[in-house]
Chains A and B, each alone.
Chain A
Amino acid sequence: MNRRTFLSALGLTSGALMLPSLGRRASAALGDVPKRVIFLMTQHGTWYPDWAFNPGGLPDDQNWTLDLSGTTPDEWSQALLPLYPMRDKVTIVDGVSLASGEADPAGILRHEIGQVHCLSGAMVELVSGVPVSSVPTIDQIIANQIARPDRLRSIEIGIGEPPFIVNYRDRLQLLPAENRAEAVWEQLFGLVGGGASSLIGEQSAIMDRVHERYTALAPRLSSEDRAKVELHRDLVADLDAKIEGMLDANCTAPATPGMELGYAESFTANVEMLRVAMSCDLVRVATIHLGDIPSDLIGYPGANLHDDYAHRVYLDPGAAQAMTDWTAYHSTQLAELMSAFDAVPEGEGTMLDNTLIVWVGELGDGAHGFDKWPCVLAGGEAWRNGRLLHYPRDLPFRTWSWDENYLPTTGRPHQELLNSIARAFEVPGTDGAGYWRAPLLSISDSEGNTIDCGGVLEGLFS
């Protein structure tokens, strides 16, 4: 297969590689702004003892960094071992906490609290009793910065049955994950190459007219209804701006995926679509929200992993092993995603080098803990990969524990991770360096302890 054929098979053409956005960065130099971001969201946290690893026996109560390039497979944890072959392109962050969830007064399920906090860094808002985010989530903050107005702003993909929404464009602007692969295809490729049809070619004129209709209706409504119509009007304007770009996109869409795909097949099909779409610069921001893994895929046929294992990780070694296997399966999914992007040359590197992947979830562990929140970063080269960053859990803060015995300390607030990601993308804002930071600047517990949430993860950028 020659290079041109190879690129074509990937949905790329030489023209696509000449797009300004792709030419901006010839190679992924350390510290460059990544071109894309993908959030990989999973459920039920992990079993920490089989997730973290510390082959050198370094002190738990200190900051330290492990260079992963010099590690051997037997030094890695079971849960993360599938990432070993890609160790030079991952950053494992050990010692972060969803501590703001502890401070949230919403009084709802901790799953629900975590689903709001994880990407928003903000407290839950209860709208008619439903827990939602009142602020944009980090994916949309980044989309504001890097999304092309003439292309898809972002895509939210579901695999299996994602439990609830984690992406918000703004208050009451929920972005549910689409778990039908054929619908994802439509979002990504539905307009691509369609400009030749006269039925589609007049879209700009139609959008102008539709925009006028929304503009005419809005002033006649109550303030709340007006906001809805104005939002719709603005989204029509967005569509108008991007529709021509999508119609003219130089991209060969992959085949339409089959319907009713199984969990693994759906993931693979979506990774392929995302790879092609991002190769063609159709979209730069994505979330893949993974529902519960079917139990038979990880060797527990017939089990309800949430009910039978996740809740019992601290009590039953078998349950802990099940959740380790659970996380290991997700590690294979991350490896699959990384490999797919790493296989596409871009500049002097690969697409993965220009794509930051963030793997987090709504909980630290299956018993609903917020501490020891597992976090893996991959690709992007916004910072030096190939490291495990360890942070001690030494911030005084009353932290709920599975056995009802509250712990006195916790790890770094996860807002520092969100702030770090925003800084990697140079999102402007109000922190000391002029970058965005999560709206929750500090949190306090019932005993008067306060944690500053306004910083970035120490050592990440060094």
Chain B
Amino acid sequence: MMRNRNSLGSALLAYSVLTLTACQEQEPPTTLPSDDGDSGGSGSGSGSGGAEQSAGTPDPSPLSRLTTEQYKNTVLDLFPGVEMPSLLFPPQLEAEGGFENNATFNSASGPLVDAYNRAAIAVSEEVTFDLGCNLGDDACAHGYIAQLSERTWRRPIEPSELETLIADYDRWAASHGADTAMRLTIQSLLQSPDFIYFPRFGEAMSEGASASVPLSSWEMASRLSYFLWNTMPDDELFTLAREDGLRERDVVIAQAWRMLSEQRARTAAINLHRQLFDLDEQGAIDFEYYAPQIGGDSDFYYLEYLPEVRYEPDVFVMQHIFEGEGTLAALLTSNRAWVTANTAELAYGVEVPADAPSVRYVAPDEPLVDFEGLGVWQRDYYEVELNPAQRAGLFTLAGFLSSKSNPRDPSPVKRGVMLLERLQCVHLSPPGDVPPIEEIEDAMPRTNRDKYIMHSEAPACVGCHQQIDGLGFTFENYDSLGAWRDTDNGYPVDASGALVGTDNDGPVNNAVEMMDRLAQSRTIHDCYVRQLFRHSFGRNEDVVVDGPTLEFLQEGFWQSGGDIPELLVNIAASYEFRHREVFQP
């Protein structure tokens, strides 16, 4: 609710862009791989990440830093059972695509460094030492430091580094006792760059004159785990790292499939789509206006209904990717949703069948769910088939629809812009000077759509708004709560629109038709790959460096029918993911 988005707006495009209108930039047409672009069709669990690129380019690999969520997840994995203290990190900056892990804007700030310090102290206070030996024994403590430091820094510890850590511990133990000394050691480990950042040097950089160097197995272990799990490597990955077993592509593929089968992958996928589709934002509805629909109880609305609405898309993403079709088309078009009794009644106008299967979802640590110290929000979501004439996919769920609304009326512009930027990869560049729209005499808007049409008719606006409104107007059947409506202000809703700027352009009558058109578009599939590329590499793409990899991944994704798990594996298996460019320190 009060999350500070501090969105950096839309970033990027080192591409030499194909300018479609004065207001937009879109990716250039892709060139399909000539002879090795198979990569498709293996399907989930096949053990294949698709064909390898014939020629790869290495990743520039700018220095990444733990995101807030990664920090918390990692602490929980480092210290199993720890009671997580309240950790307040500064707002995270986002680049285009909405991703919080983008290296362009991850420079530290005073408040961030202060927060790391407070977090390290707070975590160290909560850790319990169940070591199987007496912490007071030096051998026990020193052994734990050796093991903990390797896991915390995600790499082998140099003897001199271990000596320093142990010397500090011994000094503190002499002054304060073993327990305090170990907590101080944890503070030191958690504030080191080895924990906070992901320096990637690759193997044997001094050898040869190649522009590319494979990542070490340790680096691959971390890269895989933070990509697919959003947390640190598990024991199996660490074991492979110690054995230098993650340099082979086939092993990486096998590990990626293994990782996708675990719960952590679901949480990570939810986190990815939370950022990609900007699901954090809650609708700022005018409660008084909507009170009759909600039942007039603000506590119910804010404490029950809103959280339920917020997390429906999470469950939708999780179930469709990991328990269902696993395709982008399913995310965009399926009317199979997981709802609560409240949302079923208030947003969707259906009843949950008594025998409906359910999914229990524990939401991540969000500001919303911290309300009154709840810490987590746990809720059962029931699987239902929503009216296929009214609902198709993630963007017809109440969570998205209400978050992209104004207090009373839905916002076709917010809805359209989100889809255009995040789903179609159109970079909107509004004109600098936007004059206000003059009143048209006797032309009072009758509906929400009328109002927006009047606002968008100026020559300076019409270029962008043709695309924005063409998408956004198709959602006029949903009010600010995301509930279906046939009339607006007493007049029939006109939800017609048109898809523009894709390979599947054309008119539609409503959002269901629009989502179907989007789901069949290669442009949309290519954009989804670009977005996942940005997330997985922690940076935005560069046409020179990343063009071949992107084209390869995009072709594979399209050929696979938009299979999302396979795309994730293909990214992990790609040459670029496993290599970095050589640099001179």
Contact = CB atoms under 8 A, between A and B. Distances in A.
The 10 closest A-B pairs by CB, nearest first: A225-B63, A183-B88, A302-B286, A302-B408, A235-B113, A232-B108, A213-B192, A222-B583, A176-B91, A130-B8
B421 to A, nearest CB: 12
Interface stretch (A32-40, A156-164, A274-282, A435-443): A156-164
Interface in A222-243: 222, 224-226, 228-229, 231-232, 235-236, 238-239, 243
B6 A164 contact: yes
Given A153-B110, A303-B407, A130 B585 contact: no
Given A129-B96, A231-B107, A232-B108, A209 B8 contact: no
B465 interface: no
A84 B82 CA distance: 55
Contacts of B109: 169, 173-176, 235
Contacts of B346: none
B12 A128 contact: yes
A182 interface: yes
A161 B540 contact: no
Contact of A187 (B114, B193, B196): B114
A226 B439 CA distance: 56
A169 B427 CA distance: 28
Given A209-B168, A260-B367, A231 B108 contact: yes
Contact of A402 (B1, B106, B435, B584): B435
B492 interface: no
B63 A221 contact: yes
B184 interface: yes
A61 interface: no
Given A232-B193, A235-B113, A205 B168 contact: yes
Interface stretch (A6-14, A304-312, A417-425, A453-461): A304-312
Which residue among B90, B121, B193, B201 has the maximum number of chain A CB atoms within 10 Å of its CB?
B193
Q: What bracket does the count of chain A residues touching chain B fall in?
A: 35 or more
A165 B6 contact: yes
Contacts of B438: 315
Contacts of B6: 162, 164-165, 176-177
Contact of A186 (B63, B118, B124, B370): B118
Nearest to B408: A302
A109 B432 contact: yes
B116 to A, nearest CB: 9
B11 A129 contact: yes
Given A107-B432, A180-B4, A368-B434, A130 B199 contact: no
Given A107-B429, A217-B194, A315-B439, A206 B113 contact: no
B176 interface: yes
Given A209-B188, A225-B62, A220 B199 contact: yes
Which residue among A206, A301, A314 has the maximum number of chain B CB atoms within 10 Å of its CB?
A206
B371 to A, nearest CB: 6
Contacts of B584: 222
Contacts of B110: 152-154, 169, 175, 235, 238-239
Contact of A302 (B90, B407, B434, B439): B407
Contacts of A191: 118
A400 interface: yes
Contacts of A261: 2
Contact of B370 (A219, A259, A404): A259
Contacts of A296: 286
A28 B105 CA distance: 41
Interface in B550-585: 583-585
10 contacts: A129-B96, A155-B111, A174-B105, A176-B4, A210-B192, A213-B192, A220-B585, A222-B584, A301-B286, A302-B289
A279 to B, nearest CB: 20
A112 interface: yes
A144 interface: no
B427 A129 contact: yes
Given A209-B168, A221-B585, A403-B435, A176 B288 contact: no
Interface of B: 1-2, 4-14, 62-63, 88, 90-91, 93, 95-96, 104-115, 117-118, 121, 124-125, 164, 168, 172, 175-176, 180, 183-184, 187-188, 191-194, 196-197, 199, 201, 284, 286, 288-289, 367, 370-371, 406-408, 427, 429-430, 432-439, 455, 540, 583-585
Which residue among A154, A229, A295, A302 has the maximum number of chain B CB atoms within 10 Å of its CB?
A302
A127 B371 contact: no
Interface in A393-441: 400, 402-404
Given A109-B430, A160-B2, A259-B371, 14 more contacts: A110-B433, A128-B95, A128-B96, A152-B110, A164-B6, A186-B118, A198-B176, A229-B63, A232-B196, A236-B113, A303-B408, A307-B406, A367-B436, A404-B433
Contacts of B117: 203, 239, 243
Contact of B429 (A108, A176, A199, A213): A108
A200 B122 CA distance: 10
B406 A304 contact: yes
Contacts of A232: 108, 113, 193, 196
Contacts of A134: none
B433 A400 contact: yes
A333 interface: no
A228 B107 contact: yes
B407 A199 contact: no
Contacts of A313: 436
A316 interface: yes
Contact of B180 (A161, A169, A187, A198): A198
Contact of B111 (A187, A200, A221, A231): A187
A214 interface: yes
A79 interface: no
